Structure formats: C-alpha cells, structure tokens
Structure 1
Amino acid sequence: MSAVQTIEVSQAEADMRLDRWFKKHFPHIPHGRVEKFLRTGQVRVDGARAKGNQRLEAGQIVRVPPMPEPGAVKAEAPLTREDAAYARSLVIYKDADLIALNKPHGLAVQGGSKTTRHVDRLLEAFGKGDERPRLVHRLDKDTSGVLVVARTADSARRLARLFQTRDVKKVYWAVALGVPAPHVGEISGFLKKSGGAEGDRERMVAARHGEEGAQHAVTHYSVADHAGRRVSWVVLSPETGRTHQLRVHLAEFGHAILGDGKYVCDIPTPEGLSRKLHLHARRVEIPRPGKPPVVIEAELPVHMSETFAALGFDFDAAGPAEEALG
C-alpha cells in the first residue's frame, strides 16, 4: 500500500474530469473503488471534497489516498466478444469526433461495487488507451436514449463544455401520470440532494433559494397527447442539467413519470402498463462551428413503444409539441 500522495494537475490535463484523471494515473484501480474514495472524501482537490465529474484546472493539487500496488488488485477481465458485439449494436451515429449510443433502460453509465456491466466498461469495444471513447454526459440507469461519447481528448473537452454551457439542445419523451395543465409551460425552482439515508444519496428534493446545496433548475414541457385524464405523453426540454431534474420536476408538479418508484405523486398507475421508468432521451442537437448541428435521434425502448401502442398515442403529435417548446 502506497502513502498518501499529492499530485499537481498538468497543463495537458486541464479540463479533464477527475475520474478520468484518476483512471489515467491509477489504471489498476476499479471505478467502484474510485467512487468510494470520492464519496468518503479521501480524494480531494485543493483540499476540498470533489466529485468524479469535476473538471480539473492546471496547477490544482489532487490528494490521493493510500493506493494498493498494481499486482494487489485483480485486473478486469478483457471485454467478452458478446459484450463487445452488444456495445456496437447500441451505436446510432458516429463520426470522427463522437459516437452516439441508444442506451437501454437498466444499463448504468458507470459502474459501482455491484455493477460490473455498464457503458464505461463497454466503451472498450471501440478502442483502448487513448483511443478509448470518453463519457461527456450521463443518463440515469433507468433512462433510455441518446448518450454521446467523445472519440478523442480534444472532442471530449469541446463536447463537455457544450453540454455544461447548455449549448446542446436535449429533448426527452416521458409518459406521465395524469395530464399537466396548462399543456405547455415551464417548471422551475431550486433542487438539492436530500442528505437522506446512505442508500438514497442521489435523491433530490425541492429547496429554497440560498439554501445550502440548492441549485436552480428549469424544465420546459409540452403535452403531445393523452389517454383521457389518466396518462399523458409529455415532451421535455431541460434548460439546466441537475440530477434527476425531469423526474423531480414532474413529480413536484403532481404528474410523476410512469414507472418512477423514487419520485411519486398521488395519481395511481393504470393497470396493464409496464412498471419500468418511461423516460427517454429522444434527441440531441449538437452545434458545430461553421456547419449545421449534428442531430441524433434514438428510437423508443420496447416497454415505451408498447405503452404508446396500448394508449393509442399519435407519433405525429411530436412535431407540434416540440415546436411549442420554442
């Protein structure tokens, strides 16, 4: 076991995510253990607690806790041929800068102590070392749809900035309980992590302006279609990108997303419909200097397609609903 280390971030590592920086310096340490180091405050940046998605600046000092030697950690087995084929089957777009996947419901973006099959692991199917694609944003495990990964370090920096600065237009489709009124509008307010039990660290709750940890969140919505007053198809465009933002906003609005067991409302779930989360990242539009934007769409997962068919939702309603978002 090594001693505590303090490592200065180099100029070449500027704007790199902390978890990627850690993987570069300590490739033998599993991602789940890195997440535990971060969660418990053992990894710090300039003396402060940090998250894996924090972007580093040149000259910052990263505190690294005692690390096991490379031989003391069991190396990950190579990606199986089946997993590599599965990863490639998810591709819906690629160019010199990025690869876009249609992430299935139930597939985590990154691993943990009990999660061994996840997108970050599957990216090995597209290259190793510097050729391995890099995550630039995330989706919840149970949210399906467009997930973009960068093919180079330069494109990772550019794409990450675009996602952070809200220059990427994102459109989600959700099936909500009840029918939001008015049919077109904006949901805004402050959100923060609940600070609840150990097993519920990622739960978000409404907060007041100025409250510690509170972050402003804005979601634009439009009802595309509905089945009586029981269920509706809602098109969503988040202006901000807070954890679980769309799920919290609809639940706080009184119209929780069908299949969401964490953020609920008083409207009962109709019988005969899938209990999987009905939230899908339908489309992203990525701007490019001097060129038209890259527009990427992902087909609905099976459980949402079946629900749309059962409720008779009209796909032609998507266009007017998205236009109403502005």
Structure 2
Amino acid sequence: MAPIFEDEHLLVLAKPSGLLSVPGRGPDKQDCLSKRVQDRYPEALVVHRLDRDTSGLILMARGIEAQRRLSRLFETRQVKKRYTAVVIGEPAPSDMDEEGWHTIDGPILLDWDRRPLHIISPEGKPSRSRWRVLQNSTTATLVELEPVTGRTHQLRVHLQSIGHPILGDSLYAPLEVQDLSPRLMLHARDLGFPHPFSEKPMAFSLPVDWSAQPPYLSFSA
C-alpha cells in the first residue's frame, strides 16, 4: 500500500472502507492496513486506528522512537482530526459557537454483553465531539465532525445519541438507515499535527464528494 506522504519518520495513508486497521481475531481477519504497509515498510508501526468501515487518513510511525513521539502527540491532543459524515434527518439547532460548531458531551462505555457495541453511560469515559452542518436536505444532513477525545466508535455513538445515526452504520443505525448507503458514510478527511522531530506543522486533506441529497454516496473512498 503506497502512502500519500512519507519521510524517514512517518507515513500518511488513505485507508479504504472495509479494511481493518490492524489484524483481528481469526485467520479471516489478518488482511489489514498495517500488514499491507509493513509488507513494504517493515519498520512501520501503528499509532492510531480507524474503524474497519471508516475510510480516510491514517498515520503510521517508522520506528520505535517515531511511534513514541507520535503517540505522545495523540495523548496531549496535539493531533487535529476532522471527519465528514452523512447522518439521517436534520439535527435540531442547539447552542453553537461563532464558527457554527455544536458540542456533544456523552461518556462512552463498552456494552460488554453486546460488544463491540458502545453506549452512553455515566460509568463511561468522558467523551466530547463537535459537529457542524455543511449541507442538509429533507432526508439527511452532511456534517463536519471533530473528535475532541478519541474513544472507540465515539463519533458513531455520539451521533446516534442525538437521534441522527450515520447512513450505512451496521452497528448503530436501524436497518432502514443502514440500507441508504452500501458503506458507512464516515470519512477521516483532515489530519494535522506538528512533526514529531522537526515540529514543523503538517496538514493533510482527503475530501470526498458526498451529499445530503440522494444518492448521498457520489464517490466511494
């Protein structure tokens, strides 16, 4: 798998929907982005993940020291990520900032009896996401998303929690919403961070041509 950017310390890659970030359990789940990358770059190491059905930008380190430094950037929230998604319906107006961002605060907990599902629960880990409308129609809304924290399935759970699950979401959307798209309509569009060695600002973007109007999925990433 060829990166869209590489230097001696890191790789930026475009993950397709349907591909695991790392190996899963069982022989049928060994094909994944990390293995494909390591076939070409044996020193490449995982720094973060995207859900199997989420597409978009993902970062890998080249070597242990680069992995350590990049992981620290994630831990200290110096990595900025933005996503594009199409959700069912039109989210109701709520308090927003001067740039049009709304905030969802909802602690997320693994639903152990129904794993891998996650739920909003007072016993969960504090979680925050921001969203704003890019385009809407009578049936769906194209939104921009910014995860402030980085919990598993965070954006999917948060959007479901406000009554607007993502189209094509096989875990968190009802069947009629799943059937509106052949894939999960969630895409990691923007990735920004200071270079782990030079501290130079790094910024990458991988847009998709999606719409709030049917058929929604104009371009499959």
TM surpasses 0.5: yes
Match of 1:37 in 2: none
Match of 2:167 in 1: 258
Match of 1:177 in 2: 88
AA in 1 matched with 2:117? R
CA, structure 1 residues 310+125, in 2 after alignment: closer, same or farther (shift >3 Å)? farther
- Give the TM-score normalised by structure 2: 0.85
Question: In structure 1, how many angstroms separate the alpha carbons of the residues matched to 2:214 and 2:115?
Answer: 35
AA in 2 matched with 1:269? V
1:227-266 aligned at under 5 Å gives the runs 227=137, 229-264=138-173
AA in 1 matched with 2:59? V
Q: What's the RMSD between the two structures over aligned residues? A: 2.3
**Percent of aligned pairs sharing the same letter:** 36
Q: Computing the radius of gyration over CA atoms, which structure comes out larger, 1 or 2?
A: 1
TM-fit CA distance, 1:97: 1.5
1:298 is aligned to 2:210: no
Match of 1:105 in 2: 17
Match of 2:129 in 1: 219
Gaps of 5+ in 1: 1-86, 314-326
Question: In structure 2, how many angstroms separate the alpha carbons of the residues matched to 1:246 and 1:160?
Answer: 21
The alignment of Structure 1 onto Structure 2 pairs a total of residues equal to 207
Match of 1:276 in 2: 183
SS in 1 for 2:36: helix
TM-fit CA distance, 1:293: 1.2
1:153-172 aligned at under 5 Å gives the runs 153-172=64-83
Among 54, 62, 66, which residue is 1:151 paired with? 62
CA, structure 1 residues 195+269, in 2 after alignment: closer, same or farther (shift >3 Å)? closer
Question: In structure 2, how many angstroms separate the alpha carbons of the residues matched to 1:147 and 1:290?
Answer: 20
Question: In structure 2, how many angstroms separate the alpha carbons of the residues matched to 1:261 and 1:127?
Answer: 33
TM-fit CA distance, 1:299: 3.9
Q: Relative contact order (C-alpha < 8 Å, sep 6+): which is higher?
A: 2
CA, structure 1 residues 170+261, in 2 after alignment: closer, same or farther (shift >3 Å)? same
1:136 is aligned to 2:70: no
Among 183, 192, 197, which residue is 1:285 paired with? 192
- Give the TM-score normalised by structure 1: 0.59
Match of 1:29 in 2: none
Greater per-residue helix proportion: 1
Asked if 2 retains the 8 angstrom alpha-carbon contact of 1:254 and 1:265, the reply is: no
